[in-house]
Structure 1
């Protein structure tokens, strides 16, 4: 008793509480994962919040700063969620190809994904049986219905003609991105719902604006989603973002459900018109078979359709926006493309099946995608439970289960180990001395590993739009003495800062 009194005399209660707090923190740190990639501690909340706030708008500068400090594999915490960023082709290949069985699952528990998939499951942010079944159904039926075949090629040509008419009407310089967005969205809309819109149709423009609200959102990297329960609701900006997401989903859901109901009223199993008819057919067959694992619900098909628009519209239209910017900033490259088109095709319509005849054009499109990596970060995967049994480390680091993995695709397309002077725009790097195309493994416009469902379709759209428009027009800067700095802005895709061009019809 006497000893206790003396000890309390030496250590005051505030000091004792501080020591206890330090001891508890020490225990928590010791109980956490060891040897994870370097980065900011989970206790450094301000640094983490600042990182993710800046990352969405300034990806390139933020990644350069972090990789220069921590290396090509580093970690950050969003609240209690560990996120590991992977840069460099060798590391990305290790994650997405060599250890694909470990890093291929989706982090479906994240707040953003839970809200976006509350109505139904899709093919982008889904996992397990429903993902496999819906993905198989989508790929197979789109392929049979015309994905990569003549039917969709005809739809693309319809939009190329519409684009040409719209450009011909413009007597002054114009922003080409809105027109391209209308064209690409129309192609997908025609495949899914069986009809297209006029570019000035108010309903169509409203749909595009609604989709753009999704593209402008930071998605799973929104730091407001990771505040402890209850605190996020007290922050106006966090509440605003959640309400915005809810409004967008409700609006899109209403439009898609109306289209499905109209299709159900006129459905004929002997006359399959579009993707929605294919869904109705699959849904009826599942009910007749009394399939206990029926995934063909209205909610699920709504999410699949949203995924088709999100994956197939924004990335493709943004890449095309970059393509025409590079054409006006590198007129010599544009001229070489036009000369090759003229020599091979003359005034004949250019088909996708004949793309191998246009070597320089193909090389130019590849170089544009390399220099302007539209999807700079490929998100997201999680580390699955089998990891600890099959692998000890990733490049020497331990990756705990349920870690979110984000790969920096731009770092591969700019990896100096695989590219000579990577920041230089030079289509010839994809051609050998005899003029044949050269493949570089570090070229990752669509990531690597499992093929993106819309990759073939996106390639077809980009090739046909660029070649057929270059055949019909020559593109110039708005003012010849005012060059574009090739600056960029980040949203869900990396976009060029707005610019205008002049489209002069070729004779």
Structure 2
């Protein structure tokens, strides 16, 4: 919080009460700009960027609905490392595959902290995994990654859980009998149940109000945290804490915490130290061990458990479900690609259940899933990072504690890395012989210390859900709507989800 913002917040009624104060305020603005300039010169050459206005920074130059687009345009003028000011907050933006990888991987320690914006601090208070730093974050990430692996992440046991959920999802699609429906709820319920089975040891029925409310609130929060009012709140939290979206987000968060606490209470009452049903049991057992050993400053506390579970739900449900919905939308949009997917599935797998072992023999299917992740560009600005120390990067001085945006959209659409970046082209992941190839610039899960810890689980889910659905159904636009009329412009939100739409799932059997 700068002195100027603090003054305006504390004495708004005095600011324009007399010509003398107006002159004084103007002098303060000049001093603010000059002192910032001198400070920058003393520290070293800082990344270039558009000239900020006092207090507002570059706010008027950004499209607050889709700020990643403005930042991509600015990178063309100022280079792959540049500065923007969001209000009084200085942000360094990293653009392009080579620059983002160099920062997050080659300088993982320096760029590895999480920048926790005011809205996310309001929601988590620094607990959990996604919006935490320091020893607590390290221990919660280590524990979560270890436990996810123990419960089969990337292994056969997780595959069986996903395949079971595939059958439930197919049943929901079949109930619509080829008529148009919105895929958002069933896709979210299916992916939420995978997390439920790992975290709690059991799944929910799709008509369970607890599951439905949890998914609804999570979707609302993802949409609102990416809205323009919340971005303004993050820039000026003391001035705009009253905004409606913030109040709704905190209400949703409070209700979700209550639901998680209720489920954990039931699990705690039936806890058996000799049998772990899921991550919550493992956490509670470890918590009891540390209490029995009188461990000081243990990170195994109630708040960390609640927010670790909430983080896993949020990260493991919304992004995977949204990617799956994009994949089905792309199939309806590009029927010639859907033809090739279904031809390869019929030729290689036939009518039996697809397994993960089949992926190596389904190069075109694999390429389509990867291209969906690239084009869908679910989290275009990543979750913001923060420098853990002073660093000179690409010849520019970046101070410790500086907010950093690794612009993932500039990686997934990097014109120097992709042959046709703005086209849905599965050939990006195929060689001349039609074999699947990996691309280094494919970073939808980010990279470095903050890479998505559920990456292998998400990949398994996408492959099994997508192939199981494409085996059973042909996806088409609703009657009267052509493929060309299907809208690929993403909705506004923290993640980029398809705009509301309906599809027909026509049975192939």
Aligned to 2:336: 332
Which residue does 2:507 correspond to in 1? 505
Matched with 1:6 is none
How does the TM-score come out when normalised to structure 2? 0.88
Compared CA separation, residues 290 and 358, structure 1 to 2 (3 A): same
Match of 1:135 in 2: 141
Look up the match of 2:286.
Answer: 282
Task: Say which one has the larger Rg.
Answer: 1
CA distance in 1, matches of 2:25, 2:269: 70
**1:488, distance to aligned residue in structure 2 (A):** 1.5
Instruction: Name the residue aligned to 2:394.
Output: 395
Q: How many residues align?
A: 482
User: What is aligned with 1:314?
Assistant: 318
CA distance in 2 between counterparts of 1:314 and 1:432 reads: 32
1:63–1:17 distance in 2 versus 1, CA, 3 Å: closer
1:358-507 alignment, distance < 5 Å? 358-385=362-389, 387=390, 391=391, 393-450=392-449, 451-479=451-479, 481-483=482-484, 484-507=486-509
- 1:349 is the counterpart of 2:353: yes
Alignment of 1:4-43 (within 5 A): 24-25=31-32, 27-34=34-41, 35-43=45-53
Answer whether contact 1:379 1:405 (CA < 8 A) is retained.
Answer: no
CA distance in 1, matches of 2:30, 2:333: 61
Kept in 2, the 8 Å contact 1:40–1:47? The answer is: no
- Give the SS at the match of 1:134: helix
Q: 2:17 maps to what in 1?
A: none
Q: Which runs of 5+ in 2 are unaligned?
A: 1-19
User: In 1, are the aligned partners of 2:57 and 2:87 still within 8 Å (CA)?
Assistant: no
Match of 1:149 among 144, 155, 163: 155
CA distance in 2, matches of 1:77, 1:461: 39
C-alpha separation in 1, matches of 2:25 and 2:337: 67
Aligned position for 1:167 = 173
Cα offsets for 1:406-452 (capped at 9, x unmatched) = 11111111111111121122212211122222222111111122342
Is 362-371 or 150-159 further displaced after alignment?
150-159
Per-residue CA distance 1:312-332 (angstroms, 9 max, x = gap): 111101100110011111111
Deviation at 1:503, TM superposition (A): 1.0
Partner of 1:245: 249
Task: Give 1:14 deviation, angstroms.
Answer: 10
Partner of 2:5: none
1:459 CA displacement: 0.3
Aligned CA RMSD, in angstroms, stands at 2.5
Contact (CA 8 Å) 2:210, 2:259: kept in 1 or not? no
Matched, 1:65 2:73: yes
The C-alpha deviation readout for 1:277-313, integer Å capped at 9, x for no partner, is 1111111111122211311111101110111011111
8 Å CA contact 2:221, 2:252 repeated in 1: yes
> Larger deviation: 354-363 or 77-86?
77-86
Contact 2:257-2:310 within 8 A present in 1 as well: no
Instruction: Determine if the alignment matches structure 1 residue 224 to structure 2 residue 233.
Output: yes
- Secondary structure at the aligned position of 2:447 is classed as coil
Q: How much has 1:88 moved relative to structure 2?
A: 0.7
Q: How big is the shift at 1:75?
A: 1.7
**Residue of structure 2 equivalent to 1:9:** none
Q: TM-score if structure 1 supplies the norm length?
A: 0.89
Change (3 A) 1:371 1:299: same
Q: Is there any run of 5+ residues in structure 1 with no aligned partner, and where?
A: 1-12
Matches within 5 A, 1:264-303: 264-303=268-307
Shift of 1:246: 2.4
Distance 1:324 1:133, change over 3 A: same
8 Å CA contact 2:82–2:92 kept in 1: the answer is yes
Distance 2:26 2:425 in 1: 61
1:51: Cα distance to partner? Answer: 5.0
